[in-house]
Structure 1
């Protein structure tokens, strides 16, 4: 048996539990690579609740260093970028203790390769001249600089100026990171193509590896529902899932609750809109005062809500990459209603596998149709078939190992 080699794995957030978009991907990659490598994992913990999950990660790692991230202090620290000309994201995720741990790991363990999850973690690697043998695979996931550009167009001044600045500076930073890396990975062909246009010098080293879905966990079989029906009896159930301290999700649920739900309830008075996800912002919590809106906060399992939902909505106006909420709704054989932004990068056909609408009147009509049109009943099964065909994790994860192994 060949000797296992050491892999430095750096992530901007603890990869466990896999209960939100970035963690679903990072944990799947970590678990897969742990079969072949001795993993030295360094990561941040920005949610105090996640400290209780550290021990569960140790079985996948030869060494583990978790660093607490206080969001308020990190925000203040990020403002240094205004003085230094940096993207604010880099100082936000800078930590002296983590830098020392990375340096000691590179010196004492001498890993053969490094896997970076989120470009801000590249700041912890030394210049290539100091460690030319270290193979670096950078998983950008999304083109975050474009996300900040979208934010800038959706916000008033001065945030519009700040977000536009972050978009420009982060793109400059990301291009430098891609030049240093041996391979750069994005979550969809659309994201990869966008970065190739923005950073043509790195185009030959850019790859697309999609997310996957655990189809044994996300199954429409009602007998697998982990708990009873969580909805009010007799209600018509509309569900949105996601991290509710993330601005695109906040914007989506406020738009739906304020601009669409009243019109849906005028036709279907029993309609309820359930917002399922942790850390809801004050604006999201306030939505629960509206008739028919339920805000759950953190739940141990989102599947009961998906199992008993009649429609899954993803009314995203700002988005990058692949929306796991859409894939999970498809996997559960639900009728999903989303926007072009929510569908971008997903291998699915609007009208066959899900419904798509981009303005409020069209989204209202599509949601009512999802709840009432019996001719759409085959759509859920079609969605699951398409998701299974395109988004099995096993088909995706081998590509990471190949990139790390490539000389």
Structure 2
């Protein structure tokens, strides 16, 4: 069968399976796979067992990369010695020989047209691939690391700067080996281009499931501010604590009936302790976040650290709830500040913007309606998936135009896992 007729054969390698959908990296991978399986021959390989194979989109083939495959593989003999930068990256991130072995062997015989490596850590395996590679780190690590300074004492800054420098040289080395790199935010992509001039670096924004996160008939609770996020993830912990400690006392003093709901899985003790403050409620491990969003008079996203694109903004806007976000949280999104969402930076401005919406429900509803219209126009998963397919096709030397494809199948909304069943990693800067 000629290349013009045969479906594009894509090998997607990730650190784990894309389920449950309570983490930004898994959410992103699931929906990209959901589209790719409609128009390509896609295989997902992970260095673990598939515990939720039945949750994968129909048509996705599965490979479990086993540790024993590494015992018969000598990387240097097969693909040459790594550079000193690649050796340093392996010491920092950790190198799994079984992944290197699998990639070298599975891409040597022409079984795949292109490989997509998902996540910052997996970029180091580009040297093991014997066919074109697209790297999908999602977030830019140098930017995320430098932003950590806002939440760290100055004594930690030298260590952060050294780590940022390491990430920059590692990213540059990877960019030189891959056909393209994809970030979820144009800001992250612009940062990556600083140390990789000439590399093919693009941004493809996340979508949002507009059917799952849709407006409801439920009236918002007057005076309720809601923050949503994984509460064991450092940028979310910093944002929730800063909001509760620096902004909330001002709003609560103006109206004692107001409440701040901090919603998310696996809250750390520092977050749980916020419930001791007047009007603060910590809602841990809720089975479905949509009722919490529907009840919000305002959704607050006061991120100060992290990188990438904030799915929590897209989900709140899709449910037609008014959003106030920090410049860091809004970075990379196409929302019009002041029209689709409100932007606040600093405790005083945050208190003023939240007060504006809490005091004027009509103004809040107008903002919410514009936010819903924005995500309907700019953040559709089908468009995101098609952009990924085009990037993969071009990397493989195929035309970017797509063959006829059937509509993606509906998926079942995620169920809440036991708190101990999911561990957040730094693989993705912000869920």
Q: Aligning the two structures, in what range does the TM-score lie when normalised by the shorter sequence? A: 0.7 to 0.9
Partner Cα separation in structure 1 for residue 127 and residue 195 of structure 2: 25
| 1:138 and 2:135 are equivalent in the alignment | yes
SS at structure 2 position matched to 1:245: coil
Which of the pair has the greater relative contact order for Cα pairs under 8 Å at 6+ separation? 2
- Could you tell me whether the CA contact under 8 Å between 1:153 and 1:160 is conserved in 2? no
- Could you tell me whether the CA contact under 8 Å between 1:276 and 1:297 is conserved in 2? yes
Partner of 1:400: 388
CA RMSD of aligned residues (A): 2.8
SS at structure 2 position matched to 1:163: helix
Partner of 1:105: 106
Please, what TM-score do these two structures have when normalized by structure 1?
A: 0.83
SS at structure 2 position matched to 1:138: strand
Partner of 2:202: 207
* Alpha-carbon distance, 1:197 to partner: 2.4
SS at structure 2 position matched to 1:240: strand
| 1:33 and 2:52 are equivalent in the alignment | no
Partner Cα separation in structure 2 for residue 336 and residue 327 of structure 1: 10
Partner of 2:55: 56
SS at structure 1 position matched to 2:52: helix
Question: Could you tell me which of 198, 211, 215 is aligned with 2:195?
Answer: 198
Partner Cα separation in structure 1 for residue 275 and residue 360 of structure 2: 28
Deviations for 1:236-264, whole angstroms, at most 9, x for unmatched residues?
32111112122111110000111111211
Compare the two structures and name the one with the higher helix fraction.
1
Partner Cα separation in structure 1 for residue 106 and residue 288 of structure 2: 36
CA 1:184–1:67 in structure 2 vs 1: closer, same or farther (change >3 Å)? same
Partner of 2:10: 7
Partner of 1:383: 371
Deviations for 1:96-146, whole angstroms, at most 9, x for unmatched residues?
344444344335673211011113112234456xx2xx1211112221111
- Could you tell me whether the CA contact under 8 Å between 1:185 and 1:209 is conserved in 2? yes
Partner Cα separation in structure 2 for residue 89 and residue 7 of structure 1: 28
Q: Which moved more, 1:323-332 or 1:280-289?
A: 280-289
Partner Cα separation in structure 2 for residue 392 and residue 127 of structure 1: 34
Question: Could you tell me which of 288, 313, 317 is aligned with 2:304?
Answer: 317
Please, what TM-score do these two structures have when normalized by structure 2?
A: 0.79
| 1:275 and 2:274 are equivalent in the alignment | no
- Could you tell me whether the CA contact under 8 Å between 2:263 and 2:282 is conserved in 1? yes
Map 1:8-407; keep pairs closer than 5 Å. Answer: 8-43=11-46, 52-57=51-56, 59-65=58-64, 85-86=88-89, 90-91=93-94, 94-107=95-108, 110-127=111-128, 131=130, 134-152=131-149, 154-156=151-153, 159-202=156-199, 205-222=200-217, 236-376=223-363, 377-406=365-394, 407=397
SS at structure 2 position matched to 1:333: coil
Q: Which structure 2 segments of 5+ residues have no match?
A: 68-83, 398-431
SS at structure 2 position matched to 1:221: coil
* Alpha-carbon distance, 1:89 to partner: 5.1
- Could you tell me whether the CA contact under 8 Å between 2:305 and 2:328 is conserved in 1? yes
Partner Cα separation in structure 2 for residue 111 and residue 267 of structure 1: 62
Deviations for 1:58-80, whole angstroms, at most 9, x for unmatched residues?
84432232789xxxxxxxxxxxx
Aligned length: 374
Partner Cα separation in structure 2 for residue 182 and residue 263 of structure 1: 51
CA 1:58–1:64 in structure 2 vs 1: closer, same or farther (change >3 Å)? farther
Partner Cα separation in structure 2 for residue 30 and residue 243 of structure 1: 23
Q: Which moved more, 1:264-273 or 1:3-12?
A: 3-12
